[in-house]
Amino acid sequence: MRRAVFLDRDGTINQEKEYLYRIEEFEFVPGAPEAIRMLNQAGFFVVVVTNQSGVGRGYYTEDDVETLHHHISQELEQYGARVDAWMYCPHHPAGKGSYSLPCTCRKPQPGMLLEAARRFGLLLEQSVMIGDKSADISAARAAGCRPILVRSGYGAAEESCIQGNFEVYDDLLCAAISLCGSE
């Protein structure tokens, strides 16, 4: 059993762009690759958990998501960083066909975190979820993880709307410095 850092993708790792799936539109949030490298070096199992409703809405395909994740992995390698597992939810209530089915994986539901814990032997109570939306904070709480909000992406706008206790950092690098400095 090991601890993990669950990372939201859009707005946390990469610059927020509506329905990002094109490689040429991908751009890291400054410091994100270095942050992921720090988390790797500190012994965290790094899992990206991302809602990808663009699949369900028919804007792009699951292959497009996987192609972008492969590209991000290659970019991270140049920084000596890696994502250990990629998980995404393609569902949305307004989705088409089977993508509109009710699911437990779409954040704020904890399904992706619970599945990762089961699949990879992760200790949720010793793990952290970092994201830029209230849905990320809710998923963390529902899974029993420590919730961290970053102000990149939508985080600055959502910060004042989220109830309860959670940590806040300007971006993923600041969060990683805090997490790794407390080791």
Q: Is 63 a catalytic residue?
A: no
d(CA 35, CA 128): 14
Two tokens at 143? 């899974």
Q: What is 4-181's CATH number?
A: 3.40.50.1000
Residue among 10, 132, 136, 171 flagged as catalytic = 10
The full set of domain ranges for the chain reads 4-181
Give the per-residue pLDDT at 126. 97
* pLDDT at 93 (0 to 100): 86
pLDDT at position 180 = 94
| pLDDT score, position 86 | 98
Q: In order along the chain (183 residues), what is the average pLDDT of each group of 10 residues?
A: 96 96 97 98 98 95 98 98 98 89 93 98 98 98 98 97 96 97 62
170 is a catalytic site residue: no
Instruction: State residue 182's pLDDT score.
Output: 54
> Whole-model pTM?
0.96
Q: What are phi and psi of 50, to 5 degrees?
A: -135, 135
Do residues 13 and 28 lie in contact, with contact meaning Cβ atoms separated by under 8 Å? Answer: yes
Please report the pLDDT score of residue 162 as a whole number: 95
Question: Residue-wise over 5-29: b if at least 16 C-beta within 10 A, else e?
Answer: bbbbbbbbbbbbeeebbeeeebebb
Rg (CA), the chain: 15
